[in-house]
Amino acid sequence: MEHIKVENDLAKVLYTISDREKEKLDESCKRLLSFKSVLAWILKTCVKEFHACSIQEIEQKYIIGTPVISRQALHQDEIIRDDTMQEVQGEGASRIAGAHNEDESILEGTVTFDVKFDVYSPLREGEAVTMIINIESQGDFYPGYPIVKRGIYYGGRLISSQYGTVFTNSHYEKLEKVYTIWVCLNPPDYRKNTLNLYSFHETQMIGSFAEDDRNYDLITVAMICVGDEADENCTGLLRMLAVLLSSEMDVTEKKHRLEQEFGIEMTTEMEREATEMCDYSKMVEDRGIAKGLKQGVEQGILGSVRMLEEMHMSKEDIITKLEKTFRLSREEAKRYLA
């Protein structure tokens, strides 16, 4: 799995930190997304089977799985097996990370999923029908290929990996539907605060026969592109994720807003993860500015402006940052954005 740049407003320039620090940011983001209260919001919006359910119902009734925490790896020789996973003990444990997050194939290699778990389908209650959900956090929006194609590949692997576990021989009727949901943390401006779904649809070329969609509607890819709260499209799930993953907002405000606006109680464990993510993001920002200063005040200011612009920080916030960091007047700070 690729290291991801885990920040929404700050620290997009990760060349200033080590691989180990990147891993810590990566892990913090995945852990935040793996809490059931957060997953319930994602499922409510992205999974059509849950549109009519309440957030509380989804969290308490439909998410399946033993709450375990698994470190992730991409290559087969780096996989950390189940016996090294840390289980969250005790009543109220609320994090999901499926015990079988690796899909190994001799011919295709190993794919490791950030968060993977099962849910009951609310549309088929009484039949114990389950679906497979995969959540991926993606920092680099331009990794050298379209992310949606990677999502389709992941969906295919989630389907093929069911052979030998969900069904054997030719019992394809037992295939479970899969959703692979990508939370893009640093999309370009034209994609910010957007949510797109990609799935199979039937086209009746000749005649009017319609197949039961349960026989072909088996893969859905969702692309969630997180953006700025000021955008009018930043509502519901997008707004919740903007608050949860913000590196600008202090944890106290974040905790208050998540509880008051979204009904998400920030547990001690979640608060710790949020604090760690913000601390590392702040460290990257400070280190980037310090690096610019070493190159000379003038070049340092210009370099810092470019860095903050690449992090999609608003002009007003950049001006404020320059005033405080370089002790500039407001007019002097504005000159560097002209």
Q: Tell me: pLDDT of 175 over 90.
A: yes
* In the predicted structure, residue 25 carries a pLDDT above the cut 50: yes
Instruction: Report the pLDDT value the prediction gives residue 306, as an integer from 0 to 100.
Output: 81
Q: Are 135 and 34 in contact (CB under 8 A)?
A: yes
Share of the chain above pLDDT 90, in %: 42
pLDDT in tens, 209-267: 999 999 999 999 999 999 989 899 999 999 999 999 887 788 889 999 999 999 998 88
pLDDT(55) > 70: yes
The predicted structure's pLDDT at residue 311: 74
Q: Looking at the DSSP assignment, which residues form a beta bridge with residue 224?
A: 183, 195
Domain ranges of the chain: 14-267
Beta strands, E only, the chain = 63-64, 68-69, 86-87, 102-105, 109-112, 115-120, 130-138, 178-184, 194-199, 219-225
Q: Hey, what's the torsion of the CAs at 86, 136, 183, 271, to 10 degrees?
A: 0
- Distance, CA of 97 to chain centre: 13
The mean per-residue pLDDT over the stretch 97-126 comes to 72
Please, what sign has the CA dihedral across residues 72, 189, 21, 320? Answer: negative
In terms of phi and psi (left: phi > 0; alpha: psi -120 to 50; beta: otherwise), the region of 17 is beta
| pTM of this prediction exceeds 0.75 | no
Long-range contacts, stretch 194-199, CB < 8 angstroms, 24+ apart: 194/223, 194/225, 194/227, 194/233, 195/45, 195/46, 195/222, 195/223, 195/224, 195/225, 195/237, 195/238, 196/148, 196/222, 196/223, 197/46, 197/221, 197/222, 197/223, 198/148, 198/151, 198/152, 198/222, 198/223
Q: How far is CA 79 from the centre of its chain?
A: 21
Q: From residue 266, give the alpha-carbon distance in Å to each of 35, 201, 228, 260, 298.
A: 10, 39, 22, 11, 43
pLDDT in tens, 306-323: 888 777 778 888 888 888
The answer, yes or no, to whether residue 68 has pLDDT greater than 60, is no
